[in-house]
Amino acid sequence: MLRLLIADGNDRAARDRHVAATGRTSAESYAAVVRDLAPGSVCRHVNAADADAALPAGLAEFDGLIFTGSTLKVSEGTPAVNRQLDLMRVAFEAGRAVFGSCWGVQVAATVAGGRAAENPRGPEYGFARAITPTEEGRTHPLLAGRPATWDAPAIHSDAVLEPPPGARVLAGNRVLGIQALEIRRDRGWFWGTQYHPELDLDELAAMLRLCDTAIVEAGLAENSRAVAAYADEVAALQGHDPETARRLAWRHGVGPEVLEAGLRRREIGNFLARLSTGERRH
């Protein structure tokens, strides 16, 4: 039985918007995925951005941590950001295994001496396309089972632009050179992705609607109605009408790595499998 602490990266306002759009917080969504992949796992949530969050001392009761996505930016340096950087430092010092997607990988890289900021090549809203493993990534257990290239849900403008010293860059694509990363620091270790293997497509669609202003400002859609129409099609990829889903999959150029939950969540499953086999400390 795995015991995991799931740190929700959003502040209170962003959590409320996420719950209004999807019915649950990012941490609750992650916990559902974990329990599906590793039945019997015990997940505790912490709102790590909040000043009144009750953070467990030392993390001794947990086998590992997971950091969710967030609307925050590391470069803002606010108390809500710094509290999460501190939690990541504690995890490394305690020798814990950590997984993070999007915000999580940016927090880990920053703590370890890398740099996260707005990607000068532009954002990824919807899917990160043609992700390709590096030479190290081809044999790395985080990416075990992934094909030569794949697409994945993604929704970000910031990213890790400079990896920390000694980090292993495991995958990238034409938009971003660091799509997957391993970090070893102190006695702990981190695996993470800039894309979102945890997101079901209806949740991705809801997040796209929340980001409609940013998507329009990035020049990716003409207006919020166009974003909503795109989001509706993303949600329908996982809908109840198989013929519609098949046509939309062809239109959007997505295959099993996006459409099938077990394949889409591959990195999370690989992380949980590594914990289950006992590599919980460096």
Question: Does residue 15 carry a pLDDT above 60?
Answer: yes
Given a cut of 50, whether residue 109 has pLDDT beyond it is: yes
Q: How far apart are CA 6 and CA 234, in angstroms?
A: 27
Instruction: Give the pLDDT score at 280.
Output: 55
Over residues 234-246, the pLDDT tens digits come to 999 998 999 999 9
* Cα distance between residue 50 and residue 175, in whole Å: 32
* Model pLDDT for residues 68-90, shown as the tens digit of each residue: 999 999 999 999 999 999 999 99
Whether residue 2 has pLDDT greater than 90: yes
- Residue 239: predicted pLDDT: 86
Residue 282 has pLDDT above 50, yes or no: no
Q: Residue 92: is its pLDDT beyond 50?
A: yes
Concatenated DSSP letters of 236-268: HTTSS-HHHHHHHHHHHT--HHHH-HHHHTHHH
pTM of the shown model: 0.95
Mean pLDDT of 115-134: 97
Q: Which long-range contacts (CB under 8 A, 24 or more apart) does 37-43 make?
A: 37/265, 37/268, 37/269, 37/272, 38/2, 38/272, 38/276, 40/1, 40/2, 41/1, 41/2, 41/3, 41/4, 41/272, 42/1, 42/2, 42/3, 42/4, 43/4, 43/5, 43/6
- Two tokens at 264? 């889409």
pLDDT for 175-232, tens place per residue? 999 999 999 999 999 999 999 999 999 999 999 999 999 999 999 999 999 999 999 9
**Average pLDDT score over the chain:** 95
Q: Is the pLDDT of residue 46 over 90?
A: yes
Q: What percent of the chain has pLDDT over 90?
A: 94
pLDDT above 70 coverage of the chain, percent: 98
- What's the confidence (pLDDT) of residue 185? 94
Place of tokens 């166009």: 226
pLDDT in the model for residue 256: 97
